Amino acid sequence: MKVLVIGAAGMIGRKLLEQVAKTPNILGAPVSGLTLVDVIEPAAPAALADKAKCQALDLSTDGAAEALIAERPDIIFNLAAVVSGEAEADFDKGYRVNLDGGRALLEAIRHEGQREAYKPRLIFASSVAVFGAPFPEKIGDEFFTTPLTSYGTQKAIIELLIADYSRRGIIDGVSIRLPTICVRPGKPNAAASGFFSNILREPLVGQEAVLPVDDSVRHWFASPRAAVGFFTHAATLDLAKVGPRRSLMMPGLSATVADQIAALEKVAGPKATALIRREPDATIQGIVAGWPCDFDPKRAIELGFTAETSFEEIIRIHIEDELGGQIGV
């Protein structure tokens, strides 16, 4: 089986590949060929290095999508994106990467299928940002998409295209609407949601973190481990059970910033929470105010997707997966 991962240098891409390397049949069959691309050259896990081709590539540039699809991958993970804060700040870049790149990929698949029969599985990383306020207390599977950011709009458009190209038999596609992934390892990125991870990740290693919003802010979360599980499960899921509505809200945990801080104190003590410095940021507050905060994802749960049920569990997963089981505060 040939696998293409777009956005393979990102956090979820790297962790997905690590899981594939550890569990060879997790995508339904052994991987015979692996193409990994990102705007910086990604690296393959050692166990997959002999099967992998890694390259730096911008999907939105002329001919890039066609070159990737010419290899006719069986499963395509499209994880690449200009993240929320950056897409809002740089209108042109957000639409070029998040929309034009995604459509170029779909069109390359369509043209390859016109040349010779071809229908890959395409798994797209979407977001809760496809929803916009006002919200019900819990957002169910029937709630409409009215994004209030450019990033959310770009994701929603690609979701619609994936549903239509699947309906036309061009792809077998599904859009995975991710909760905010927390705790993200590594350094802060340009995502407006980055502080949700920062206020946990930095204090756990004895470093100060800035909190730009009120403690009362509520949001929808899942761990990186859960996110990888969403994508591997989607790779083997019978998509006939999904039907024509090819966008699925993933399970997660609804929690406030205060809940996060309380869980951090329970796991790491008051020395950790004392490292959180409150610096209100009106721009981030405005973006976050338009995001949903609680869901009732019945369809995904019935289809076998799972996530954490407490923030303490999310923090302990980060300590286990990223800190070798040790707290540095």
Residues involved in catalysis: 151
The answer to whether the CB of 329 falls within 8 A of the CB of 271 is yes
Number of helices and strands (H, E) in the chain?
13, 12
Rounded Cα distance between 264 and 273, Å, is 7
The answer to whether the CB of 84 falls within 8 A of the CB of 93 is no
| Distances from the Cα of 49 to the Cα of 21, 33, 67, 231, 313, angstroms | 10, 10, 21, 21, 33
Rounded Cα distance between 209 and 95, Å, is 31
Is the C-alpha dihedral spanning 107, 110, 111, 112 positive or negative? Answer: positive
